[in-house]
Structure 1
Amino acid sequence: MADAVVVRLVGGPDHPGELDAAGFRGLLAAVQLLSTRVGRHLVDQARPGRSAGVVERSARVRVVGLDGEGTATVLRFAVGEEGVLGDGLEHEITDALFELVRGLWNEEPPSWTTPLLGEACVELLDALARVARTAAFGGARFREVSFAPAALSREAWPREDAPRRYGAAATVRGRLDRVDLRRRVLRVLDESGADVVVESVLAGYDVEGDPLVAAARLLGSEVVVTGPASRGPGGLRLRGATVRPA
């Protein structure tokens, strides 16, 4: 049996009860993406054996209402379809969806949030920010939560390609073994045998012209690289670094 989700949008670029086509498509796509990924996550983790068709139908999002109420644009969604033999999977999907929405509101992802779910949550925030200053999620079974999507953290959510944070400067000594002039990226093999990616280069010694081109002349040589550092799953990265001969 389909479940109900109500989204209230206030302070967007359109009149109450109206949404431009691009904003509407983006928001609907983001809600559908999150619902689909939640359904797949639930089946993978706790409901093995469900067919892909059952999951897709249980996670299907339909717009069943678009109205203006005072200063708000109100969207009503139905999640799931009637007659799907999913044993209430659509209700489990909306339960998990609202737990993620509360995580957005609190800027604290649930402990079970995967990178795929984190990416979908960030897409939802971005889609909401394009159509409203404040957004509220509620439904027949849920207490409404309201938040300003543009102001909420994206960095708190796990993602495969999450933006890196760069902190204090680090110095690396090693062999410059790769130069990508098109992407303006260098790679240094450090003394421990690990790859260090250098995302941009600043002139650090007596160089005229492009500092990346000057650094490229050191390809195959021992160098010392210093710059703001970020340590993550892909290893150490430096940005805005200086490169000099060792």
Structure 2
Amino acid sequence: MADLLVLRLHRGPDHPGELDAGGLVALVGALQRLTTRIARHLVHQARPGRSAGVVERAARVRLVGFTADGAATALRFAVGEDDVLGEGLEHEVVDALSELVRGLWNEEPPAWTSALLGDACVELLDALVRTARTCTFGGDRFREASFAPAGLSRDRWPRTDGPRSYGATASIRGRLDRVDLRRRVLRVLDETGADVVVESLVTAYDSDADPVRDAARLLGSEVVVTGPASRGAGGLRLRGATIRPA
């Protein structure tokens, strides 16, 4: 029998009960990818011999409800099949998903997390950043967990290609030339003419403010961005940064 999963999105870029199509596609796709990888992981680890079709059906995610819930947008998903009786693989999938979500919240992956699962968890976090400032997962068999996805560590999760490492804090002065409200990513052209990507912003003075929307008012202005830095092939990136006029 299918399991119910409820996701509430709080203080996102859209009005309660609305969701940008691109954000919805990214979110549902990331959730489906994660449940499929969980099912395959469970079968390969403990239940060899099950057919691929059984695994895919047990991991199938269906959006069965989409409503405004007070100031939040509530999405209800069914995981698995409705016409199968008893405690099936879909229940194990949701139980494992619950562990992984609590691992995201606590920034501590379960010991059994594989690199493929780590990739899918980080993809889910990134999709949540596009749609909400904070989110709450719950359901019939899912102990509720609430967290702010933009501020959570990706670096602790095993990855197939290895995560970027964010180290000492750096302060960059330059012109803010792009603000992506959907992806919540900023770009600053620094004094040397190089692009600096700001993956997420935090605010130190008002927890209810949206730092990305506030930063949009500075578009085209000289700013100073400060945060943990990562230098790699793709250039300099900052995460969990603050921004102020120069």
Q: What's the counterpart of residue 51 of structure 1?
A: 51
Are positions 1:150 and 2:158 aligned together?
A: no
Q: What's the counterpart of residue 7 of structure 1?
A: 7
Q: What's the counterpart of residue 107 of structure 1?
A: 107
Q: What's the counterpart of residue 183 of structure 2?
A: none
Matches for 1:220-231 after TM superposition, within 5 Å = none
CA distance in 2, matches of 1:53, 1:3: 18
Q: What's the counterpart of residue 118 of structure 1?
A: 118
Matches for 1:183-202 after TM superposition, within 5 Å = none
Q: What's the counterpart of residue 210 of structure 2?
A: none
Aligned length: 173
How far the C-alpha of 1:143 sits from its partner, in A, is 2.0
CA distance in 2, matches of 1:22, 1:167: 32
CA distance in 1, matches of 2:157, 2:166: 17
Matches for 1:72-83 after TM superposition, within 5 Å = 72-83=72-83
Cα deviation per residue 1:99-130 (whole Å; 9 max; x = unaligned)? 00000000000000000000000000000000
Q: Which runs of no fewer than 5 residues in structure 1 stay unpaired?
A: 169-236, 241-246
CA distance in 1, matches of 2:96, 2:30: 15
How far the C-alpha of 1:161 sits from its partner, in A, is 1.0
Letter in 2 for 1:120: A
CA distance in 2, matches of 1:39, 1:114: 13
Q: What's the counterpart of residue 243 of structure 1?
A: none
Q: Which runs of no fewer than 5 residues in structure 2 stay unpaired?
A: 169-231, 236-246
- In 2 relative to 1, CA 144–107 (structure 1 residues): closer, same or farther, beyond 3 Å? same
How high is the TM-score relative to the length of structure 1? 0.66
Matches for 1:1-246 after TM superposition, within 5 Å = 1-84=1-84, 88-165=88-165
How high is the TM-score relative to the length of structure 2? 0.66
Cα deviation per residue 1:119-144 (whole Å; 9 max; x = unaligned)? 00000000000000001100012221
Q: Which one is further off, 53-62 or 141-150?
A: 141-150
- In 2 relative to 1, CA 116–85 (structure 1 residues): closer, same or farther, beyond 3 Å? farther
Cα deviation per residue 1:50-89 (whole Å; 9 max; x = unaligned)? 0000000000000000000111000000000123489610
Q: How large is the Cα RMSD of the aligned pairs?
A: 2.4
How far the C-alpha of 1:164 sits from its partner, in A, is 4.2
- Which of the pair has more CA radius of gyration? 1
Letter in 2 for 1:131: T
DSSP 3-state at the match of 1:98? helix
> Given that residues 9 and 74 in structure 1 are in contact (C-alpha distance below 8 angstroms), is that contact kept between their aligned partners in structure 2?
yes
> Given that residues 17 and 67 in structure 2 are in contact (C-alpha distance below 8 angstroms), is that contact kept between their aligned partners in structure 1?
yes
